[in-house]
Structure 1
């Protein structure tokens, strides 16, 4: 069976004498047949005929009409080819179609060819991770080509990510393609978009005049939403924005229900059932990597990878939290937006340019300079003179262009230069590369070290607090590290790679630049979900890093920063006691949010079990092994003693043992009604040297 193309080609070249006002549409190709009819395919990308929706290995394809479409994902993104229509005569003002897939100009596109020249071309919307396979309505005004013979050529010559194109429902019409749109006169700070979790992903464009000022994908709710995603439009107060969404069903309320407000919309904000109360999390949407961590003008700045429009990864922006005390936090406006759709603002870092080496300083505030990966360009520099609230792009971006991402900036005092440590994929291997600069503008490659993946960090620490014995630590996303020396150009390891964090769901950590007292303070992405909420994921508590001398050499230790003590609402001291089976010195204590400190001397045969809100944390003295809710790690006794600290929150616990040499974060959601505590011993005895249970206040409290 042929596609409708065969008969429709005959129809479109017949004389037609109706006026433009009443000429009916002509469906040139709907791709409902078993093959391409009179269309000609080359290569392998387009298969032997129209695809019946999603192909193997592909994300779900939506937005096409009927059962078939052109889909060049046959064989995956590596396949290539072309698909050329039969010749036709242009007899309508517009050529309309549905299109999706890759956004690579000239490589994943559909071209209108007249007299051997490409006179119109269009791509899909996607060039980077985080996009959608949904087709959207689009079209060309072809009035100037009336009566001319033409062909359509669908092209797929791309072989990387989003190396395919989707096309359907090609129609000749005197009407423009219908694109759901709403005009909004901006009067408030936020536009609130209705979101339906696990709903259909829509592609939204926000226009000021003809300029796209914001563009993103969102699970736009057609009916009642699960939550509202805020878009800050304060820059366009008093102006009219045009909001356009693709492929909305006829009865969708997705655009009609967009509302305005000066506050983020939602009941019980920061008091939701699964809102972490000790760990910073986005008020709405998704977070992953911490970015741009820097102390300046009396504030701790914690930027973060952020999808403001959904509770899963995508639409990468830099969100922004600030804190005066490293304990309580406030989320301010999105700080870094993608340069354009698909050119995402990936991870990076920030520093204070005290000496204004860049020349970007204006005004009285400290000059903040950041580096981030622009996925469509490379490593880019930005700067801020208003306490990190808004950022300006360096006109010379990108400053480093390579196969890599996640630049970490630092000042190297001995060599008096800036250093960029950045993940690199030279020669198809995984490295950390080092570049240097005198002014944060012009960068020179210096060296590489192999064996690290994503999100590098490099910092210096004294060993056992000895300022004369300082070592450099090189680490990356999974927190494994090496100790060594760094001369400003080359890192020379003195140890093998050492296991870092021992828990689960801790990734892409970064340290604060410019901490006022010289401490090295780290925050990691805590992969602790909050299912069913209007937000997802969190950050670890701020952690102080130290280098401790051990029998195996210098090793990193982690401990909660002292500032968290300011959250204490009530502390109960637990006196020294001999523990034997059946004893439980914590049985009468109850708490939801807590920091618990214990020091014990267990016998060789003892198994000490601490239960915090029903979550078991067991220590086997014979094996010198900690079992945190089923996750087992080595935790050697130090001087014959077990010193244990536990922070318990609504979606995660952070556990510190062996004087911080074993840091064990775990995602866990305890039962809301269970606030019990217990401490028991089996198989032997233990001496409780000391203990305290601190009930904590929320970091969101004033």
Structure 2
């Protein structure tokens, strides 16, 4: 984590000079979490890397908590989403199925929602639930952050949201200055291992071990002047054995052994794994490895601070697989771009045994913007003093960057690289704002930031030899396509991509996918079906109508079930309104629609009502795509899912939201509310047993509301993260019970009423935890309540 006064001063002064006054970042609120503050982009801005990750907007620095979890790579990073300079650190988040195609996701850790400094740290996937923090079907992602001690945060929804363990209290107390905890699984000993940088009279790392990720024991300290910030500790195979590597933020490292508590090395003089500018804000800093990567690979990414654009600052190096080889200088790390880069390769050209000299350049005439070059040069027979590549060259002989091998000096790009067997090989990854150079079977690597001019007249490549000639034994040029735009940042859906718009503009916002259309606009998935059950949430802004589209062609022609501000739920297809259901429809209100198709029969449900509001037949379209529709204005859609999963509840007519935003995911109904937000059925009762499952994702409270009026005024039995089960009504807390209520955990509440007597059971307990009397509300509606945060409810029953 960039934090030293000297480094921060340099970074901030440079940023201020380039970008103007520093604008402080802001903290968020639980009911608006997770935040997605990013303006739309096509990722085509000048100098924006096309296959190097950069944040959609804002400042980024250190990679954090890199994990492979539940089928996705998760890249978290230090982030100021509200400005182009370092300020008020958040944890940004992006995901990828293959380490190449990244999708920006909402903020992972957010000041104001998650306690602490939220500086750099590590993450793991607790596949065996050693922590006991697992609450659902997915493996928990557990991440570590904090300064002068370590706090723990956990996600049970694959990074969609995080909760602070033990309210963010430090689980490791370190009295000295410390930061940047990195954790790895030590399978050989059945434990977790953490290294934390600390200043105990100088630079070094403290080593801790744990059986469960929660309880940590100090094991040892490894002190070294070079070992400053962002340490990483990981094993790599070497000659049939396993060695351990300890690294620092500057990319320096030593190789040694680890006995479960103590790291030792016989070669304490560090080596550098990358020869870029290895200071904070340079071209290679704060590298971190992924935990849990498939096939046991150790994959690494680092921060490149030198890349700046109109809306972002900083990018990450392209991911590499690390190896370890024996050399005359001892064991050394190798860095090789991951093989998944091949998914971006387009057209390619190859040459063999070409002699490069004045007047003969095999690359003459090639114009390219983002690409890969590999080449092997016969140095032993060369007469040229220097040879190499001029990248993004122009007709006047100038170029944005040259990569030169100097025979006399024995250097590549100014860094020592003696020939091997009389040959020098190199591999170049050329992006719009980045250049990475590899050689020596991965022993040599340089990461650089270069503002390449992408204009057509500046896209030349020149292979040159100065003062003689050089034979190229083999060379390959390959164009690399963009890696952006292949998944959904904010739209939650079980439908397959790629998605495409057919009319209007569809952009990502925190609440889902937002449309801006003048007529009909469709957003369509690649998933198709004939008979199916399909549901989703729609919210009208200025739009006249919005809804779910199904059995559609690629241009949207098919069926749509929508809500329309003329006061109807409507089922229609091009040329025909099939059926309508009259009901008040308002702007800035979320409606849940569910559609079931069985041959020509089409049924439509509204807001979890038990009976369909439309039951009609039409044979215009037998099958087709699933998607969404908006008409004349702006609207937002979310949670577009097929299958019967959703909100399971008692028999009722359509539900009504009174405050807050209520949406439906496959695992229940969710709420976001700044104050009290109610979700009310039309079912009423006097004496009954009412029960269900509720949780507070982030924030204060959630519960069951009963005997309520249409505005929610009635009784509520809730769970409160202050550590309470509470029975209350407007103006009075009737009774409370102390209970360990934790964010992210699901709890079962049961309420039983008999006249003025109200009893509340907590988490399947045998006896009520509250037994009270109140006469204010003798009867009324059943519903749900969420207060000052995000909440979830499921499995509601009345007997």
In structure 1, what is the Cα distance between the partners aligned to 2:11 and 2:371? 40
Q: Is the 8 A contact 1:415 1:487 kept in 2?
A: no
Q: Is the 8 A contact 1:131 1:342 kept in 2?
A: no
Matches within 5 A, 1:291-306: 291-306=64-79
In structure 2, what is the Cα distance between the partners aligned to 1:382 and 1:291? 13
Equivalent residue number for residue 639 of structure 2: none
Equivalent residue number for residue 437 of structure 2: 655
Residues 558 and 508 from structure 1, CA distance in 2 versus in 1: closer, same or farther, beyond 3 angstroms? same
Residues 358 and 342 from structure 1, CA distance in 2 versus in 1: closer, same or farther, beyond 3 angstroms? closer
In structure 2, what is the Cα distance between the partners aligned to 1:235 and 1:588? 49
Q: CA deviation at 1:303?
A: 0.2
Q: Is the 8 A contact 1:282 1:331 kept in 2?
A: yes
Residues 430 and 691 from structure 1, CA distance in 2 versus in 1: closer, same or farther, beyond 3 angstroms? same
Q: Which has the higher strand share?
A: 2
Q: Is the 8 A contact 2:336 2:442 kept in 1?
A: yes
Q: CA deviation at 1:657?
A: 1.7
Q: CA deviation at 1:590?
A: 1.4
1:665 lines up with 2:447 in the alignment: yes
Residues 609 and 410 from structure 1, CA distance in 2 versus in 1: closer, same or farther, beyond 3 angstroms? same
1:347 lines up with 2:133 in the alignment: no
- Among candidates 220, 244, 258, match of residue 486 of structure 1: 258
Equivalent residue number for residue 461 of structure 1: 236
1:583 lines up with 2:354 in the alignment: no
In structure 1, what is the Cα distance between the partners aligned to 2:131 and 2:223? 30
Q: CA deviation at 1:273?
A: 2.1
Q: CA deviation at 1:583?
A: 2.4
Matches within 5 A, 1:340-489: 343-373=116-146, 375=147, 378-395=149-166, 397-402=169-174, 403-426=177-200, 428-451=201-224, 452-463=227-238, 466=239, 468-489=240-261
Residues 688 and 430 from structure 1, CA distance in 2 versus in 1: closer, same or farther, beyond 3 angstroms? same
Q: CA deviation at 1:129?
A: 10
Question: What do residues 301-356 of structure 1 show as CA deviations (whole Å, max 9, x unaligned)?
Answer: 00000001100101101000000111100011000012579942100111111221
Structure 2 alignment gaps of length 5 or more: 13-17, 278-282, 393-398, 487-799
In structure 2, what is the Cα distance between the partners aligned to 1:541 and 1:622? 31
Q: Is the 8 A contact 2:129 2:139 kept in 1?
A: no
In structure 2, what is the Cα distance between the partners aligned to 1:319 and 1:201? 18
Q: Secondary structure at the match of 1:361?
A: coil
Equivalent residue number for residue 317 of structure 1: 90
Q: CA deviation at 1:616?
A: 0.8
In structure 1, what is the Cα distance between the partners aligned to 2:242 and 2:117? 38
Structure 1 alignment gaps of length 5 or more: 1-76, 78-127, 133-195, 207-212, 215-231, 237-261
Residues 693 and 448 from structure 1, CA distance in 2 versus in 1: closer, same or farther, beyond 3 angstroms? same
In structure 1, what is the Cα distance between the partners aligned to 2:364 and 2:114? 55
1:534 lines up with 2:316 in the alignment: no
Q: Is the 8 A contact 1:599 1:643 kept in 2?
A: yes
Q: Is the 8 A contact 2:91 2:110 kept in 1?
A: yes
Equivalent residue number for residue 32 of structure 2: 233
1:594 lines up with 2:416 in the alignment: no
In structure 2, what is the Cα distance between the partners aligned to 1:582 and 1:130? 46
Question: What do residues 462-513 of structure 1 show as CA deviations (whole Å, max 9, x unaligned)?
Answer: 22xx4x2221111010011001111111111132211221112100000000
1:330 lines up with 2:103 in the alignment: yes
Q: Secondary structure at the match of 2:343?
A: helix
Equivalent residue number for residue 620 of structure 1: 406
Q: CA deviation at 1:577?
A: 1.6
Q: Secondary structure at the match of 1:690?
A: strand
1:500 lines up with 2:273 in the alignment: yes
Give the stretch that moved more between structures: 306-315 or 438-447.
Answer: 438-447
Q: Secondary structure at the match of 2:158?
A: coil
Residues 200 and 437 from structure 1, CA distance in 2 versus in 1: closer, same or farther, beyond 3 angstroms? closer
- RMSD of Structure 2 on Structure 1 (CA): 2.6
Residues 695 and 367 from structure 1, CA distance in 2 versus in 1: closer, same or farther, beyond 3 angstroms? same
Residues 556 and 299 from structure 1, CA distance in 2 versus in 1: closer, same or farther, beyond 3 angstroms? same
Q: Is the 8 A contact 1:636 1:658 kept in 2?
A: no
Matches within 5 A, 1:36-115: none
Q: Secondary structure at the match of 1:455?
A: coil
Question: What do residues 12-31 of structure 1 show as CA deviations (whole Å, max 9, x unaligned)?
Answer: xxxxxxxxxxxxxxxxxxxx
Residues 549 and 604 from structure 1, CA distance in 2 versus in 1: closer, same or farther, beyond 3 angstroms? farther
In structure 1, what is the Cα distance between the partners aligned to 2:428 and 2:298? 21
- Among candidates 59, 78, 81, match of residue 308 of structure 1: 81
In structure 1, what is the Cα distance between the partners aligned to 2:329 and 2:136? 50
In structure 2, what is the Cα distance between the partners aligned to 1:202 and 1:548? 46
Q: Secondary structure at the match of 1:577?
A: strand
Q: Secondary structure at the match of 2:340?
A: helix
Q: Is the 8 A contact 1:455 1:508 kept in 2?
A: yes
In structure 1, what is the Cα distance between the partners aligned to 2:444 and 2:203? 27
Q: CA deviation at 1:654?
A: 0.5
Matches within 5 A, 1:6-21: none
Equivalent residue number for residue 549 of structure 1: 326
Q: CA deviation at 1:234?
A: 6.0
Residues 664 and 202 from structure 1, CA distance in 2 versus in 1: closer, same or farther, beyond 3 angstroms? closer
- Among candidates 384, 387, 390, match of residue 611 of structure 1: 390
In structure 2, what is the Cα distance between the partners aligned to 1:130 and 1:285? 18
